Amino acid sequence: MLKYPKPLEDLIEDFTRLPSVGKKSAERFALYVYTKMDEETTHNFSKHLIDVKDNIHICKSCGNICEDDLCTICKDHTRNHKQVLVVETIKDLYTIENVNEYQGIYHVLNGAISISKGVGTQDLNIDSLVKLVQTEELEEIILATNATLEGEITARYIKELLQSYPVKVTRIAHGLPVGGEMSYADEMTLLKAMEGRREY
């Protein structure tokens, strides 16, 4: 069987480590790098990869990514630092932030409790959330974990952890999407739509 030169094989292998990238896609990416990207673009690409690992850190307060000790959200004194929105991932944080409606701060868990994947409470950024509740006079913790079994388990676990503290714990509503038809919704979506109902 004919193989590519080793540097190209190594690059293909690297691309397969990316999520949702199979062997065929990795092969296409690697060949594109060699045949279509000029030398300057290729060097910039590799530099950016190194810069991401060397110059981006985890915010010591909320778990977001940043270039300094604290992220821009935590450093922003115009935001409501008494309201904390808890999300599973950094991507979730950016998704919510780009809606431009929420004005509090965040807390990133870095995942959700999952027995099948071997992710326990000790693997998540939960202890620092409890410490935050213990040391700061917070008004509300908003649990914005995903509407999955893992997300629900994580939200309930955090709610139980915080029930002895004088802070309001809320959960974002999950339900029918705008423009969606009820007949296409699954049972969990309908249940969450009912639970998240409000006065009209």
Could you read off the pLDDT of 123-151 as tens digits, one per residue? 999 999 999 999 999 999 999 998 888 99
Q: In this predicted structure, what is the pLDDT of residue 10?
A: 97
The Cα–Cα gap between 12 and 25 comes to 9
Whether pLDDT at 72 is above 70? yes
Half-sphere exposure of 108 (CA within 13 A, CB side): 22
Claim: this prediction has a pTM higher than 0.75: yes
Residue 185 has pLDDT above 60, yes or no: yes
Q: How far apart are CA 182 and CA 169, in angstroms?
A: 29
